Structure 1
Amino acid sequence: MRAGRLLSLLLLLQSRGRMTARELADELEVSVRTVYRDVEALGGAGVPVYADRGPAGGYRLLDGYRTRLTGLTTEEADSLFLAGMPGPAAELGLGAVVAAAQLKVLAALPPELRSRAGRVRERFHLDTPGWFRGAEEVPHLAAVADAVWRQRRVRVRYRRWNDVEVSRTVEPLGLVLKAGLWYLVVRSGEDLRTYRVSRVLDAAVLDEGFDRPGGFDLAGYWADWSERFERRMYPMGVTVRLTPAGLSRARVLLSLVASRALDGVTPRGDWTTVDLPVESLDHALVDLMRLGADAEVVAPPELRDRVKSTLTAMRAVYD
């Protein structure tokens, strides 16, 4: 256990440079006193770890010192190559870089782990786009990714969902890959916005830097934005009675957001009453008609009336 922690401490200093004892303790989830002992142990093993005094001080490695990649467990070597994303990396313009990095890592691994990592690449494949949908064209992805990395403002021309085009200069903060779709998180003025990269019609990276918002957390922002996005897309609710067969079919035929509302719901007799989020009454009508006689709309009354009138019209067609 301690050997793994010592290796982690060494790699943290190698990858991040100077770090305080408190920063190391937080990363390793140990006490500051444990960090002191571990640093002393590294020094005793011949690793050139130095302590800089003062308010801006901390621990650092001797300039130019590098350790070979050793100490990887079998599971860690597996996960290293299982986590690779050749498709997205190629879209970002990093396909060759990723391939070169994997070759270097493979060269540093002992023979038994090297062959196992090769088997992982042969037997596991990541395909990010959803079913029945090809990957979107993202011709400006590499440009905005470069701007994100170098913290450069970008002048973008963007097509909104209603086909209206807008142009503005933004500060790109991060990229998110969601179900095969790329999204760009930016700061525009004082606001944070999210753009679908496939709708970027033009992107000009400017020679103007910017400071990232203090404390900005991309993963946290994305989780919050996704939740708000789903609420905006499904602002209405309907009450429906479902038979056991209807409940089972609804989990498959309804939207992901609606079917998620059925998690944990079990049939209660012949009919089970549930509340479902919907985009609109038009969408609800089409979706619930797919369940046939295994679903009955309870509320709102307007939707119930529309189902009845639709069924009447259908019967007239077939009569």
Structure 2
Amino acid sequence: VSAALLPSLRDASSSAARRFHLDAPSWYHEPETPELLPVIADAVWDDRLLRARYRRGGGREQEGTEVARELAPYGLVLKAGVWYLCARAGEDFRVYRIDRFTAVEPAEARFDRDETFDLPGFWEERAAGFARSLLRTEVTVRVSGRGARMLAYTGDRAAAAGALAKAPEPGPDGLRTLTLPVESLDVAYGQLLALGPELEVLAPESLRIRFADAAERLREMYR
């Protein structure tokens, strides 16, 4: 982290809060220091424009191609050991993985920072949007009260909260039926199996069969 902080600003809390954000839930990952991080960090602290070359990612057809950008670097984010730059490109604010920059050059010119820009808020919104984009299928489950509380800790917290908010009230048996957005059936299997008897998969049938098989193997194991 010290690679991203200028010595004279490490104790300047208000300035640091506008320019650096630690996504705390993943603090335990060992961060790497990309080669270009110090140069980018200097530009962030100095409100200096950057001329950069960036290798695209994200699974698009252009993945791996390089693009040239002039960026106004607003802030740095460290999440799960990976460094990101939040920057303005033209009129839009975007997020860039710092290890995908292949070249950066600070410009002579500085930029006027938009003082209304909220780095933690911007990052939270983008991260939530990215997480939602991964949820491409749905499963129908029946959960106990304890299972409902556990859902937030086994998968996407916002997706679990949304599914519970839309679900009918529990029946006389205390169980609730809900439709849960998930990344894939394989991911759902790994996440929801952790709830054990607090959750029953109703659909799709293929996932229900996998859970039934897992339950049978557990029964045999503990005989």
CA distance in 1, matches of 2:107, 2:3: 23
Task: Give the helix-richer structure, 1 or 2.
Answer: 1
Contact 1:153–1:210 under 8 Å retained in 2: no
- Matched residue count: 203
- Structure 1 counterpart of 2:188: 284
User: TM-score w.r.t. structure 1 length?
Assistant: 0.49
One-letter amino acid of the structure 2 residue matched with residue 136 of structure 1: E
- Shift of the alpha carbon at 1:291? 2.2
- Which of the residues 211, 226, 238 maps onto 2:127? 226
CA pair 210-237 structure 1, distance change in 2 beyond 3 A? farther
Helix, strand or coil: the match of 1:139?
A: coil
One-letter amino acid of the structure 2 residue matched with residue 169 of structure 1: R
Q: Does 1:147 align with 2:43?
A: yes
- Structure 1 counterpart of 2:75: 175
Q: Give per-residue Cα distances to partners, 1:65-109, cap 9 Å, x unaligned.
A: xxxxxxxxxxxxxxxxxxxxxxx4x22141x3246879xxxxxxx
One-letter amino acid of the structure 1 residue matched with residue 39 of structure 2: A
Helix, strand or coil: the match of 2:26?
A: coil
Return the structure number with greater relative CO, CA threshold 8 A, min gap 6.
2
CA pair 151-263 structure 1, distance change in 2 beyond 3 A? farther
Contact 1:171–1:210 under 8 Å retained in 2: no
Backbone CA RMSD of aligned residues: 4.1
CA pair 252-267 structure 1, distance change in 2 beyond 3 A? farther
Q: Does 1:217 align with 2:113?
A: no
Contact 1:144–1:172 under 8 Å retained in 2: no
CA distance in 2, matches of 1:207, 1:276: 48
Q: Give per-residue Cα distances to partners, 1:255-299, cap 9 Å, x unaligned.
A: 434444477898653312233332223322222223233212234
- Structure 2 counterpart of 1:205: 105
CA distance in 2, matches of 1:217, 1:101: 18
One-letter amino acid of the structure 1 residue matched with residue 77 of structure 2: L
- Structure 2 counterpart of 1:136: 32
- Structure 1 counterpart of 2:144: 243
Task: Give the strand-richer structure, 1 or 2.
Answer: 2
CA distance in 1, matches of 2:55, 2:209: 43
What percent identity do the matched residue pairs reach? 26
CA pair 175-131 structure 1, distance change in 2 beyond 3 A? closer
CA distance in 1, matches of 2:11, 2:146: 53
Q: Which residues of 2 match residues 60-99 of structure 1 at below 5 A? A: 88=1, 90-94=2-6, 96-98=7-9
Contact 2:43–2:49 under 8 Å retained in 1: yes
One-letter amino acid of the structure 2 residue matched with residue 143 of structure 1: V
CA distance in 1, matches of 2:128, 2:32: 23
- Structure 2 counterpart of 1:193: 94
Greater shift, 256-265 or 185-194, is seen at: 256-265
Q: Give per-residue Cα distances to partners, 1:120-151, cap 9 Å, x unaligned.
A: xxxxxx99572542223333222112223343
Greater shift, 202-211 or 137-146, is seen at: 202-211
User: TM-score w.r.t. structure 2 length?
Assistant: 0.66
- Shift of the alpha carbon at 1:195? 0.9
Q: Which residues of 2 match residues 300-315 of structure 1 at below 5 A? A: 303-309=204-210, 311-312=212-213, 315=216
- Which of the residues 55, 61, 70 maps onto 1:158? 55
Greater shift, 221-230 or 138-147, is seen at: 221-230
- Structure 2 counterpart of 1:298: 202
Contact 1:247–1:267 under 8 Å retained in 2: no
CA pair 254-207 structure 1, distance change in 2 beyond 3 A? closer
Q: Give per-residue Cα distances to partners, 1:223-249, cap 9 Å, x unaligned.
A: 543342232122444332112342343
Contact 1:172–1:184 under 8 Å retained in 2: no
One-letter amino acid of the structure 2 residue matched with residue 135 of structure 1: P
Gaps of 5+ in 2: 14-21
Contact 2:52–2:104 under 8 Å retained in 1: yes
- Shift of the alpha carbon at 1:308? 0.9
